[in-house]
């Protein structure tokens, strides 16, 4: 019965085709199938033209973890550091890591469970619909631009040129026949530099500088000499800083492991037990009340429903801990912890319409401006 109704508008054309193709059954089947599917193809095209699909967002956090990496290399004379300077230093190279800062920024992604289609037809004055690149609704009858979460980029400072101890050794140190003799002469040279600097600061030096600029130059030269020679005993440390971004989208209250951190390996995988866990705890502050709708409201909503939905987010508290101490606390709005509200199609009538702007992060109403269409 349904197939007959579909073919009826084309009876005056299809009868001739049927007679011509009567002896060719495969072709007849293809034509019959094409005619049967034609109304469905027309219906699909109409839906794509008259409706705009969109998502409401769900919110999360982008954590920027700043980690300092320190590489230690022992000096050639490290075994003599305790003898001449009463200081114990490591005899083997090592690498260590430490967290020097954590920053939090809000982010938004499409909530696939909140996918809607906005009806755009002749009954409603909807000129344009603005969405983000990933399909989140931004505005109706207004221009809106997506505001991306700013990416925190680390800009390293210029490193000073490393000092070469050989450039500051005396002839006797360079010609010493053993490491023990080199350590003895180098330590003596370091103490002589310190004595000279003390005499200069007290004004007891033989050759006093003529002005402040010359005094600063002499101080800088002596400090540089001492630093270069001291490296032979204390070793050197090279520091690098890395910034790592971690995204977290909460779905419910509770605690989760955000990342693990090891002082020997830095940031490691969540299942790598060599690192200590850092936990993120989500607490819903219930800043939005659950709406109580009546049967009359439901009937009215169904009559004027054009598929327009907005978010009414709830506030949440985010707490980052290392299991013992609170590292950071952050409060933000999260659409997935709030409600979804329907906006009536009456706002977009033929005589009077409006501009609707949504918050690009939460999908909540940011601004409404009434427009006169006449």
pLDDT tens across 273-306, in order? 999 999 999 999 999 877 666 566 555 556 788 9
pLDDT one-digit tens code per residue, 51-78: 899 999 999 999 999 999 999 999 999 9
For residues 177, 182, 188, 194, the Cα torsion angle rounded to the nearest 10 degrees is: 140
CB 67, CB 98: distance < 8 Å: yes
H helices within the chain, ranges in order? Answer: 2-7, 11-20, 25-50, 81-85, 171-174, 179-202, 212-234, 295-303
CB 296, CB 315: distance < 8 Å: no
- 136 DSSP 8-state letter: B
The Cα 131–Cα 57 span in angstroms is 11
User: Residue 248 — φ and ψ, nearest 5°?
Assistant: -135, 125
Residue 132: per-residue pLDDT? 92
Closest CA to 97 of 242, 260, 244, 266: 266
pLDDT one-digit tens code per residue, 177-201: 899 999 999 999 999 999 988 888 7
Residue 30: per-residue pLDDT? 35
Strands (E), the chain: 51-73, 94-119, 129-131, 137-140, 236-248, 254-262, 266-268, 276-284, 309-321, 326-342, 352-358, 365-372
The Cα 327–Cα 362 span in angstroms is 26
Residues of the chain with pLDDT under 70: 1-50, 205-206, 291-302, 373-374
Predicted structure pTM score: 0.74
pLDDT mean across residues, the chain: 82
CB 64, CB 102: distance < 8 Å: yes
pLDDT one-digit tens code per residue, 313-328: 999 999 999 989 999 9
> Which residues are 243's β-sheet partners?
66
The Cα 113–Cα 316 span in angstroms is 20
CB 110, CB 311: distance < 8 Å: no
Q: What SS3 class is residue 318? A: strand
């Amino acid at each position: 019965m349904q197939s007959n109704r579909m073919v009826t508008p084309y009876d005056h054309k299809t009868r001739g085709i049927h007679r011509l193709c009567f002896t060719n059954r495969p072709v007849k089947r293809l034509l019959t199938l094409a005619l049967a599917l034609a109304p469905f193809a027309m219906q699909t095209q109409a839906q794509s033209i008259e409706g705009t699909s969109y998502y409401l967002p769900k919110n999360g956090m982008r954590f920027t973890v700043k980690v300092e990496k320190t590489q230690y290399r022992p000096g050639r004379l490290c075994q003599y550091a305790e003898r001449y300077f009463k200081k114990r230093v490591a005899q083997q190279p090592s690498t260590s890591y430490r967290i020097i800062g954590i920053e939090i920024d809000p982010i938004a992604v499409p909530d696939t469970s909140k996918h809607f289609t906005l009806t755009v037809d002749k009954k409603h004055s909807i000129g344009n619909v603005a969405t983000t690149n990933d399909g989140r609704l931004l505005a109706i009858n207004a221009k809106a631009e997506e505001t991306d979460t700013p990416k925190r980029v680390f800009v390293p400072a210029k490193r000073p040129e490393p000092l070469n101890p050989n450039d500051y050794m005396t002839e006797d140190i360079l010609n010493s026949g053993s490491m023990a003799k080199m350590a003895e002469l180098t330590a003596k040279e370091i103490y002589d530099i310190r004595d000279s600097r003390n005499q200069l600061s007290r004004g007891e030096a033989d050759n006093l500088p003529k002005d402040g600029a010359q005094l600063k130059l002499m101080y800088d030269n002596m400090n540089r000499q001492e630093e270069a020679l001291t490296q032979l005993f204390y070793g050197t440390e090279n520091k690098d800083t890395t910034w790592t971004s971690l995204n977290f989208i909460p779905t419910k209250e509770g605690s989760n492991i955000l990342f693990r951190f090891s002082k020997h390996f830095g940031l490691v995988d969540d299942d790598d037990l060599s690192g200590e866990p850092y936990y993120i705890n989500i607490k819903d502050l219930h800043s939005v009340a659950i709406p109580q709708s009546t049967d009359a409201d439901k009937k009215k909503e169904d009559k004027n429903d054009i598929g327009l939905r907005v978010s009414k987010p709830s506030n949440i508290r985010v707490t980052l801990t290392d299991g013992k101490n609170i590292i950071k606390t952050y409060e933000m709005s999260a659409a997935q912890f709030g409600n979804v509200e329907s906006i009536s199609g009456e706002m977009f009538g033929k005589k009077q319409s409006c501009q609707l702007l949504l918050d690009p992060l939460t999908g909540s109403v940011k601004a409404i401006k009434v427009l006169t269409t006449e």
